[in-house]
Structure 1
Amino acid sequence: MLISRVVAPRTSRIVELPTPAPARGQVLVEILASGVCTSDLGPWLRGPQGDDPIELGHETAGRVIAVGSWNSRWREGDLVTGLGGPGFATHAVLDDEWLLPVPAGIDPALSIGEPIATLEEAISRTPIGAGSRVAVVGLGFMGLGLLQLARTRAPRTIIGVDPNPEARRRARELGAQVVLHPDEVAGYVASQPDAGSADPRADVVLEATGVTPGLETASPLVAPFGTLCIVGYHHAGTAMLDMELWYKGATVVNGFCPDRPRVMQAMDAALGLVASRRFTYAPLVTHRFGLDGVDEAYTLMSERDPGFVKAVVTP
C-alpha cells in the first residue's frame, strides 16, 4: 500500500508499506476518497515534533476488500464511509462498528460521512424549526454545509455572513435570502423596523469560523432568547463571548460532540439526506487531488484561496 506522511513542516512524502490485514471486528478498505479537514491543518503546518512522521486523513470513504470476522456485517465490495484513518493512503484498516454504507448511486467522494455527521449532530441540538430565522456566520465548507442542513428544517429566512464575495455567492445559490459582509452586520442589526414588525435578528445563529472575530460577528445577530451554536473549531487560546448574550437571555450551544455513538447516529441521518439529494457535497468539493497533492490541498486551505471550499484526496 501507499501512504502520504507529513515528514516536515508543510511537507508530505509518499511511502510504500505492507498492506495490513484486518483483525477481528475490523475491515480492510481500499480508500476511494478522503476529505482534507481544517482540524489537521495545524499538524501539517508544524510537522512532526519527534522522529515519527504524521499520518493524516480521517474523513474516509472506500470499498471493503477484506473482513476480519466471519460474522462481520460487511462483505467484500461494500462501499462504506465512517470514522477512522489514516485516509491519505490507498488502504486502511477500519473498525466495523464505526462504518455505514455509502448511499446507492452517489459518488463516494460526495458521500464522506464524518464531516457532515459532525455538522448534523451540532445542528440537531439547536432549536431550528419551521419559520425560524437562521444565520450562518462563516461560509466555508462547514458554514455552507450547515446552511444546507438548516434548509431541511424549513426556516423562514437564512442569513449568510462572510467577507469572501465568492462564499456569499455560493450561499445565495444554496438558499440564503440575505448575505452580508461582516462589516454590514452592525448596520443590519441597527436597522430594526418599526414596532410591530419582525426583528431582523436570528432565532438561531450558527458560528462556523473557529476564530474570535467570528464570535464577535455572530453575537449581535442573536435575537433576544435566541440560540448561538458554536460549531467552528476553537482549538486553542481564549474564545471571547459577547456578554450582551447574557442580557438577551440567549442560549449558547457547544457544537462539538466527543461521543462517537452520537456522531454515528447523526451520520446515519445525514447520509439519508445525501441519499435523498436534500444535501449535496457537489458545490462544496471544489478540488480533488491524488496522494501527491496533499500538500497543495493544505496550502490552498491555509492561504484561504477564495475559490477553495473543500478538497478531497482520491488515491
Structure 2
Amino acid sequence: MLYIISNFESALTQFIFAGLQRDDVRLIQYHSKPATLAGKLTRWLEVQFPKRRLDWYYPAALRAQLDGIGPGDSVLIFALGNTKDMVLLGKYLHGKQVHAFLWNPVLEHNTPQGIAKALERLTAIEQLTPSIYSFDRADVAQYGLLYAPQPFRHMEAGDAPAAAQSPPTDFFFLGYDKGRLPLLMRLKQAADTLGLSCHFHILPDAGKTYSAAEQAMLSTGYLSYADNMALSQRARCLIDIVQATQSGATMRSVEALFLNKKLITTRQLALQEPDYNPSRTLVVDSSTAIDCQALLHFMQSPFVPASDAIRTEHEINTWLNRFI
C-alpha cells in the first residue's frame, strides 16, 4: 500500500487527486500550519524533542493513520517541505520506506536569506528520506535529487465546465505580476496589432506602485482553480512566464498539454523537452520585443496534439508507480 501525506484541501492537489483510481493508495490529510496559538506552541514544543515521540501535537485520528502504515508499505510526502513538519513526521515514519516530491523549486527566492531557508528545508527532508523527487531538472542535477515530471490528471466532460459568461479568447494568463507585467503588456500590444484577443487576469504585487498604463492591465479578485481551468478551456493559447529560479516544466505547461492548448513560455529549456513541438509551444525571451510575425505564424499553424504516451507520464495513476 502507498500512503500519500499532503494537504488535499489545496485546490490544485484536490483537483489532481480527484482523478485517482487505484485500490493500493490511501490519502492522509495533513495540515501544515497550526490553526491556533496553542497549536503553534504545542508544535514548537514537540519539535524541541526530535528523537522522542510525545503525541502532543497531532490529533488522535492522524496518529492512528500514521500508526497504521505497515512495514511493507510505502509513504509519499507530497508537496510538504516545512522544516518543523519534517521533524514531526520523522517521529512517526522512522524505519518506513519514505519518498518526498517537491512541488516547488528548491530555491524560491535567490537572496542570502532565501538560499539559507531553502537549504534548511532540503536538509530537513534529507534527514527523513534520501528518496527526494523534483520536477525541476536543474534541481535534480544540482542537489542530487531524483526526477519525476509534474503530475496531472485526465479530464472528463464536466470536470472543468466552460465559463458561460466568458467568450472564447486567443491568449489567457492568470497570476500575480511578480515582474511579468512588462512582457504581458508587450504581448497584449502585439495581439492588438494582429487582431488577436487576450484575457489576462493579473493581480498586483503588494506594496508596488504602478503607472496608469500598468494599472489598466491589472485585475482585482482571486480566481479559483476551477475558474482557471474553465477560462483555460476557452482559450487557444496559455501564457507561461516562469520565475528566474525555475527551469522545470510548470503546471501551466502541463495544463496546456492535457487541455490540447498552445503554449507561450519564457522557459528556454522547453525547447529540449521530449514533448516539444513548434506547433504547440512558442518560446520567447522575457526581455526582448515580441516578434509579431512569429507570433502570428505560431497562432495560425495547425495544432499537433501530443501523444498519449507523453500525457501518461504525467497522469496521476501511472505517475504514482515510481513510489510503490
Q: TM-score, normalised by structure 1?
A: 0.31
Q: TM-score, normalised by structure 2?
A: 0.31
The structure whose residues are more often strand, as a share, is 1
The answer to which structure, 1 or 2, has the higher relative contact order (CA under 8 A, 6+ apart) is 1
Structure with greater Cα Rg? 2
